Structure 1
């Protein structure tokens, strides 16, 4: 695998040492010139550790600075953690995008919402197809996963071949789309694979991930015996699960209605690509009340406790069209993503309080993972036979478990984190350098650095509050009236402590030298310092403070 012509390197900017925010780069360097390839561009969520954050993504700054050498962005599949950031980060990359028909259908909707649909060049590649981006010769291999058209990516270079698996499993009956193309993987392994960059999500789970067919059979048996309204919540992207739920409903004499925007979008993308064609159109939220409770099934977004999701609103009884109550059932046909336990628990508590019965994967076969357990990983290593293994898509404990398994299979593993640069050429692979990494937070319609001043201020406000003082001072520096304090979330306006703090604040301002009270900048600085001292002493907190000065 030696190459005197150039050097191949792998650099993850996101998704290695964490789950989500996948953004991977491959670099070819030759004669002092570089060519880059990007694989996947996804989002992550804040969760309980970052309550001030809803959606975040890897900072693409390193490759944005080199975008003239970026040949393209290849999407392995249409899950949010692999495709969800494209509409936000593409303006910094400005490169062609390559993906399968289903991923393209999903991506077009996202780009349209951001006003980018006519700007991004999307090259639609059939599953199993090829892409020529010299010096990278690329080919897709069909994999089964919990979404249609998941693809592994073969990356052929003068230095050797890399298999970038994306997300996958070995499901003999995935229901929508073919099983993983094990023959193509075996042929690749026989040809020789320098390195495999591989999914680690379930590397700590022994056995097999399970089949969608088993879930379909179980759902049909469960739903058949239920009375009242039945609601099923699942990941919107799991089209096979949507089909299983609809078929189970039909077997039980129920019509299926979709509740939630992400499910409606995924249904439209799936039907556009020829999936779900045996199912009649789903009912809408407006149709639900026209169907008897025993004859309706609701397919609802919100399996992870998202505060604005349809299921959360139904659980709080503030959804405008849909309600659930005594005698109804909610089936969680999904797993609990780590970090979402509290949010999901709150929704489930609210549902049970309303008399709803819950069914989860703790006590019923209503979900299987889309990621490979250890037996499937072992099988993949037997097929591909890579010389080197690069565990990605997992936190450190997942990567470590994967590395141990790879070593047992005869591959040499490299433990990496975001920003590490792994040089794969010259028969001496090694982590040789690092690149700056970071996270960007989606704040409304803009992106801000997670570690920047905006989010730092947001964290301080979240935990310590904010206090705004307004004071009027004449030209001689005399206070005109008592200062007013506004401290939403910290002090009530009619709290006696607010008045006492305002009096203390006025006293400290009067103690300032007259020269300081006549200078706006000096007065504002001194006022902020005084206000911090007063609040620290009285409340034991250090809120953000600001002073509005009116000179009269």
Structure 2
């Protein structure tokens, strides 16, 4: 880190994740030499990341100065805002602040992943200013697709910053209060310098539907079905789970939860006073005892996760639950970009089994948790910031959000990139430096870089295969036996045989021509590797991972 471009007294905003992408939100704020972090989330891998389960932000920038980090404030309980905590908290070791439901989820993750860690969890009330380091922070109640979402007001250095978190304006959110419009109006009246805002639906005109719309749509859709009905949704969408329990009651069906995440999150919600009318759930052992027309399954797996309940049901590998011809599965969720192929595979497997698949394109069974353009404009009218910084979106989303902000008479809209060190003042925001950023993952319990040698080799093996050669030389530098070449993932059948035979011959010729270099193992390894790589490229156009084993033996003893 190099701080020559700013002063300790500056108010800085540094996104380490979530800018230019959807997911992995992690943001830093600085004043008078101290920092606070807002959110610490995960993202999910794409097809270029074999063997990766979660993607984490790189925290090198703040890890080097964690003694100056006063706290982590979590705006709400979605995985892209808190999912990295159990993997990365030990690099920070700071208190964690949030609303009661959010902290209930954090507490569960820490108990599972860091059972011996002494993590200080501090609940923040709404509409009350609290001092964290050099910042005065205040939560403002908003609505989103999870309980207790909070917008965050930060005050420092004479600046007032409003970080929206994820939000929408929902007049009937089913669970929890409506957005606190009065506080937002008062905040705008007092003067806001910078608004850092959600860009997810910045390209979508109109307003986002209410959770009550989804509830009515689900009741209508479920009422029309005769066989078993399974509905999959985000486990964290407690209001949607409540809507499904209500729909089960309205349609004469008994509800059944399937999926560990659903049980974990509904337990947390009930501990915080939500889901007060909780019914007796059908147990998995009683699944086949309930008439087909009288059961409603609520499942994890809306994003095609391979180990989820719905994926296993669709592939016929769930140990107790099955769906058959005449049954229906409803996807009460949106497709997160990058998950389309996985979701399509689950839906194809269901259709092969004769199961009817219904999505929000077929019936009004889902609403977004993020604001569309009309609501975003309404927020700008309430807050009236001087400066806007769009986050939580790809570059397309951020540009659309910035244009909307300018249309709302915001004097400056700065589009950030992960790692940008942005100085904030009352007149403008400017990028004054850059922080180290990158992508990390968890491998065998260790946090490693996705561009590490291990992960690069794994990707190369996936796309290019692996080749090895064993070369046995006498102490006088002569080949004792023909080189043994093996390959994996390079070619099929006779083409693989042809490669291995030709590679062995080429290695023989190359070693015979080495003269005195034949006594240098490193040089022999280099020459053999060139033979293997060159032949693979000429025959198949591939660049496999190459391993060379050199063995030196006493020829007389070997004979």
TM (norm. structure 1) is 0.94
Q: 1:484 to 1:492 in 2, by over 3 A?
A: farther
Q: Give the alignment of 1:70-149 within 5 angstroms.
A: 70-116=69-115, 118-149=117-148
The answer on whether the counterparts of 1:7 and 1:159 sit within 8 Å (CA) in structure 2 is no
CA displacement at 1:117 relative to structure 2: 5.5
The corresponding residue for 1:255 is 254
Q: 1:551 to 1:166 in 2, by over 3 A?
A: same
**Matches of 2:307 and 2:550, distance apart in 1:** 38
CA displacement at 1:520 relative to structure 2: 2.5
The corresponding residue for 1:341 is 340
Q: Give the alignment of 1:194-343 within 5 angstroms.
A: 194-343=193-342
CA displacement at 1:386 relative to structure 2: 0.8
Q: Give the alignment of 1:475-514 within 5 angstroms.
A: 475-491=475-491, 495-497=496-498, 499-513=500-514
Q: Give the alignment of 1:178-197 within 5 angstroms.
A: 178-197=177-196
The answer on whether the counterparts of 2:324 and 2:353 sit within 8 Å (CA) in structure 1 is yes
Cα deviation code 1:9-63 (max 9, x no counterpart) = 111111011111111011113xxxx011100000011224545643112111111
CA displacement at 1:274 relative to structure 2: 1.7
Which stretch of the first structure deviates more once superposed, 472-481 or 233-242? 472-481
The answer on whether the counterparts of 1:504 and 1:534 sit within 8 Å (CA) in structure 2 is no
**Matches of 1:28 and 1:7, distance apart in 2:** 6
Any idea what SS the aligned residue of 2:488 has?
Answer: coil
Any idea what SS the aligned residue of 2:55 has?
Answer: strand
Determine whether 1:539 maps to 2:540.
yes
Any idea what SS the aligned residue of 2:43 has?
Answer: strand
The corresponding residue for 2:22 is 19
Any idea what SS the aligned residue of 2:305 has?
Answer: coil
Gaps of 5+ in 2: 1-6, 554-559
Q: 1:98 to 1:271 in 2, by over 3 A?
A: same
The corresponding residue for 2:357 is 358
CA displacement at 1:510 relative to structure 2: 4.0
CA displacement at 1:251 relative to structure 2: 2.0
CA displacement at 1:237 relative to structure 2: 0.6
The corresponding residue for 2:519 is 518
Query: How many residues were matched structurally?
Result: 545
CA displacement at 1:480 relative to structure 2: 3.7
**Matches of 2:292 and 2:125, distance apart in 1:** 42
The answer on whether the counterparts of 1:52 and 1:459 sit within 8 Å (CA) in structure 2 is no
Which stretch of the first structure deviates more once superposed, 49-58 or 316-325? 49-58
- After superposing on structure 2, the runs of 4+ consecutive aligned residues of structure 1 that deviate more than 6 Å are none
The answer on whether the counterparts of 1:6 and 1:159 sit within 8 Å (CA) in structure 2 is no
CA displacement at 1:436 relative to structure 2: 2.0
CA displacement at 1:305 relative to structure 2: 1.3
Q: 1:387 to 1:536 in 2, by over 3 A?
A: same
Cα deviation code 1:301-354 (max 9, x no counterpart) = 111112222222222222222221211100000011111111111111111111
The answer on whether the counterparts of 2:105 and 2:265 sit within 8 Å (CA) in structure 1 is yes
The answer on whether the counterparts of 1:43 and 1:85 sit within 8 Å (CA) in structure 2 is yes
Any idea what SS the aligned residue of 2:245 has?
Answer: helix
**Matches of 1:236 and 1:5, distance apart in 2:** 42
| RMSD across aligned positions (CA) | 2.0
**Matches of 1:121 and 1:443, distance apart in 2:** 27
Determine whether 1:429 maps to 2:432.
no
The answer on whether the counterparts of 1:151 and 1:165 sit within 8 Å (CA) in structure 2 is yes
The corresponding residue for 2:415 is 415
CA displacement at 1:499 relative to structure 2: 4.2
CA displacement at 1:231 relative to structure 2: 0.8
CA displacement at 1:432 relative to structure 2: 2.1
Cα deviation code 1:270-296 (max 9, x no counterpart) = 122121121124334333223222222
**Matches of 2:387 and 2:511, distance apart in 1:** 71
Determine whether 1:472 maps to 2:437.
no
CA displacement at 1:87 relative to structure 2: 1.0
Cα deviation code 1:223-273 (max 9, x no counterpart) = 122122211111111000011112212222221222222212112211221
CA displacement at 1:472 relative to structure 2: 3.1
Any idea what SS the aligned residue of 1:402 has?
Answer: helix
The corresponding residue for 2:551 is 550
The answer on whether the counterparts of 1:198 and 1:392 sit within 8 Å (CA) in structure 2 is yes
**Matches of 2:245 and 2:236, distance apart in 1:** 15
TM (norm. structure 2) is 0.93
Gaps of 5+ in 1: none
Q: 1:38 to 1:331 in 2, by over 3 A?
A: same
Which stretch of the first structure deviates more once superposed, 419-428 or 377-386? 419-428
Determine whether 1:174 maps to 2:177.
no
The corresponding residue for 1:452 is 452
Determine whether 1:389 maps to 2:388.
yes
Any idea what SS the aligned residue of 2:168 has?
Answer: coil
Q: 1:49 to 1:459 in 2, by over 3 A?
A: closer
CA displacement at 1:469 relative to structure 2: 2.3
The corresponding residue for 1:8 is 11
**Matches of 1:121 and 1:486, distance apart in 2:** 54
